[in-house]
Amino acid sequence: MRPASDWSIPAKPQAAGGATASWVGVLTAILLGLNLIWVPHGTAADQADRAILLLFPKPEEVRPWVPDGPAQLAEGQDLFALIDGGAELFLRHGFERAAVQSYALAASRHIQVEIYMMRSMDGAAEVFARKTGPGELPLALGDAGASGEYYIVFRRGRFLVTVAAGDANADAKAAVLRIARAVENRIPARCP
């Protein structure tokens, strides 16, 4: 597990450079997802980390919630160090990399956004199927989405995303939906 600040990129990369950087990031994510970018040996992981970090919403889209520290990143089996036993489900369905960002409000409240990039769309679909059941309501988000009392889970392409609040208050649920939609909009639609 590595904090995003370990890289030579800003802790809040989604804010860096404004709309232009955001577009470049989205384009990079699309091309990486399609395996259409060749990157020199040793920098592929950095490129992929940058791309996944750019899927998080900009700070203005999240206000009044604010990022609570830098995003945490994990690749392959490092996911175990990030989410411990929770990694098992992802690893057995072809996990590639993840980024987790917490947002806080008034110190005691939080929302956590987890973006998992799987090796394939099927992997994301399998994890989604395991994470959702009769207890969740279908939600029109991504290729498939579901909502629980305080959280949203959706998948798009080979990405699996969960956005969960620490409570089920109305403002937290509204923020969860807003963040989920923002992430959905940044995920390349035709990523294989």
Partner 1 sequence: MRHEWGRRSVLKAGVAAFGTALGGAWPRASAAGAAAESADLSAVTGTDLYQGTLKTIEQLGGMGRFVPKGATVGLLINHQFRNPGAHVNPDVAAAVAALCWEAGAKSILSLKDERFTYWPRQGRTSDAARRLTPCSGNYVTVEVPRGQALRKAEVIKEFLAAEVLINVSVAKDHEGTRYACVLKNAMGALTYGTCQFFHFGHGKGGWYGDVEFLSQCVADLNLLRKPDLAVADATTILTSNGPFGPGKLAKPNVVVAGASAVSVDAYCTRFLGVDATHVSMIVRSAALGLGEADPAKVKTRETSI
Q: Which of residues 57-86 bind partner 1 (CB under 8 A)?
A: 68-69, 72, 77, 80-86
User: Contact between 16 and partner 1 (CB under 8 A)?
Assistant: no
Q: Give me the residues paired with residue 118 across strands.
A: 95
User: Contact between 135 and partner 1 (CB under 8 A)?
Assistant: yes
Closer Cβ to partner 1, 7 or 80, answer by number: 80
Residue with tokens 């498939």: 144
Query: One symbol per residue from 149 to 188: x for binding partner 1 (CB under 8 A), - otherwise; what is it?
Result: xxx-x--------x-x-xx---------------------
Closer Cβ to partner 1, 98 or 191, answer by number: 98
Closer Cβ to partner 1, 86 or 192, answer by number: 86
First to last CA, the chain: 26
User: Contact between 11 and partner 1 (CB under 8 A)?
Assistant: no
Residue count at the site for partner 1 (CB under 8 A)? 35
